[in-house]
Amino acid sequence: MRLLAIESSGKVGEFAVVAEGGVLSESTVDVAGRLLEKGIAMVEEVLGRAGTSLGELDGVAVSMGPGSFTGLRVGLAIAKGICFRRELALIGVPTLDAIAQARSAHTGFIVPVMDARRGEIYLSIYRSDGSVVSRLADYLALKPDAAIEMILGECGGSPTVLVGDAITPYGDVLASGLGPGAGCVPGFEFAPEEAWRVRARVVGQIGLALLGEGKVLDPATAEPMYIRPSEAERKAGRG
């Protein structure tokens, strides 16, 4: 099987072509402004470098969120357009799953933490045996204190790694609540910054597994996974 993978949940978008044998090509793009135009050009670029045409793809895997509201909408729009036009499978991959899967070599708990703005953190909790990653909690948007309480309740006593861009604004608070000084989570650590970014190649790898299980979306009804209402919806009284 061969997939196009799209990741547009953050400041840097990624596009990749992945197959069961590995990554055939990948490229990044600044998602600020004209993402739709840039994204379409990037699709053509990664397909060309992989020596693959749209007709040779089995589907499109796309990061579904949480993340940037605008980025997620545009990434999904590109994926839907390709799937409609070529009658390809659409595979949705939760962004937090992709962050956790990239740390699958860690034995213990993995907690992706994304900056959700408005004083909140997007997170879930996963456990890895060093290879297979399993999700243990819902996808949530929590205040830092609530996030700490959740992590302590689920991960206390086992090696735990936090990974994601919420470490920048909330690292001190999280370290104070979870670290050695608190004596609460032995083996607690932050992943290095280079590991925080969501990778299209991982979105594609998860997508291959989901496609193999027949877990695909209807392009006509698929929507990003925002977890909470957008700013526009909130101001309109819808959230």
Can you give the pLDDT at residue 231?
Answer: 47
Measured distance CA(58)–CA(3) in Å, rounded: 6
* CA–CA gap between residue 187 and residue 5 (Å, rounded): 34
Architecture of domain 103-195 in this structure:
2-Layer Sandwich (3.30)
Whole-number Å distance between alpha carbons of 228 and 238: 10
Amino acid at site 198: V
The ranges of the chain annotated as CATH 3.30.420.40 are 2-95+198-235, 103-195
Distance from C-alpha of 165 to C-alpha of 112, rounded to nearest angstrom: 9
Q: What is the mean pLDDT of each run of 10 residues along the chain (239 residues)?
A: 95 93 92 78 95 96 95 94 96 98 95 96 96 96 96 86 96 86 66 94 98 97 84 46
Helical H runs in 104-166?
A: 144-155
The Cα 64–Cα 71 span in angstroms is 10
Please list, in sequence order, all residues whose beta carbon lies within 8 angstroms of the beta carbon of residue 233, skipping any fewer than 6 positions away.
239
Residue 159 has what DSSP assignment? Answer: -
Q: Rounded distance, CA 180 to CA 157, Å?
A: 12
CA distances to 5, 196, 234 from 164, rounded to whole Å, are: 20, 4, 25
Residue identified by tokens 């991959």 is 93
> In a 10 Å sphere around its CB, with 0-12 CB exposed, 13-18 middle and 19+ buried, how is residue 113 labelled?
buried
pLDDT of residue 158: 81
Among 48, 62, 61, CA closest to 8: 62
Hey, which residues does 30 pair with through a beta bridge?
12
Angstrom distances, CA of residue 236 to CA of 68, 123, 190, 231, 239: 19, 26, 37, 9, 8
Class of domain 2-95+198-235: alpha beta
